[in-house]
Structure 1
Amino acid sequence: MPDSGVYIAPAQMYQELRSLSDGLTRVETKLDGIGQGLTELGKDVADHETRIRALEKARWPLPSLAAVVSVGALGLTLWQAAGR
């Protein structure tokens, strides 16, 4: 009884191997692009974080300054009212 397996010609096998290799190359290229994009995105996030922290630090004196001005105005009003 002869072997009833499937015969694939070497040229056909080579063609499939080349096709798989080309597909793998395309996937690697896309992954490299995604990795580079993620690196740039990480830098943008770090930059935004730094800028937000700077804005938060610069904002804290405003409520304190408003409270000091309010207390000063109240004190001045009471002083003027007591002086009359």
Structure 2
Amino acid sequence: MTDPLGPVMITSRDIYDALIRLTASVDRIASQTEGHGEDIRDHETRLRAVEEVRPSPRIKDLEDRVRAVEARLWPLPAAAVLLSMTALALALLPKITN
């Protein structure tokens, strides 16, 4: 039985050198990402500060008015559906009765 890779020999020195290169790469990546945790904490702190800002009375009033308008708008689609169903029934009524 022949080896499909041919006469490939990997020595323990080759494995050691590859491990050293891999360790150096991991160390480099770890050093690059060290400051990211602090950046994320700072960003989250600023986001929480923005979320804690209370809206002005004008904005609060505007939000209340928009909510009131939205609450009154739901009957319009329902009325449109009822009207269209009635129109459909009236249009089909002569065909059904004949």
Alignment TM-score, normalising by the size of structure 2: 0.44
Higher helix proportion: 1
Alignment TM-score, normalising by the size of structure 1: 0.50
